[in-house]
Amino acid sequence: MIRIDEKSMLPIYEQIVHRIKELISRGVLQPEEKMPSVRELASRLLVNPNTVAKAYQELERQGVIVSVRGKGVFVAKPASSPGMLQERLSRLRADLGRLMVEAHHLGVSREQVTAWVEEEIGRYWRDGNAGGSSPSQID
């Protein structure tokens, strides 16, 4: 489910954060589903538990997961994602801009870029709108 890429520039905890968010996006991890404990995940990945703990802390800070005392860690309900959202959306918009600049600089055609975007949409947005936050909040 989660594999650490040793060749990546990202530190391990960031990879974990990113991957979990990806799994949630893809629907592999459902809202309110129970996550493996820090200890379980550390054992599975053979990674220092402190690193996993750091990843979980970050995910909790971003509102992606929620820990319930005595019960464990769960994927957060989509509606309860708090204020980090605005900041993340702005960052996302800026990243998109940067990618476009790069594509343009490399001489990628308009058709090619559009095709790529369509491909990604097809992969993550099923049934038209199952994304979570409403587009009107952006920018």
CB of 54 to another protein, least distance (A): 10
* Least gap, CB of 84 to another protein (angstroms): 23
What is the rounded CA–CA span in Å between residue 20 and residue 15? 9
Q: Which is nearer to another protein, 4 or 103 (CB)?
A: 4
Q: Which CB sits closer to another protein, 16 or 65?
A: 16
- The token pair that represents 63 in the structure block: 């509102």
- Nearer to another protein by Cβ, of 39 and 93: the residue is 39
Cβ 36 to another protein, closest distance in Å?
12
Q: Which residues in this chain contact another protein in the complex, by CB under 8 A?
A: 4, 6-9, 11-12, 38-39, 42-43, 45-51
Report the alpha-carbon angle 2-19-61, nearest 5: 125
Element (H, E) at 110: helix 110-124
**What is the torsional sign of CA 22, 6, 105, 116?**
negative
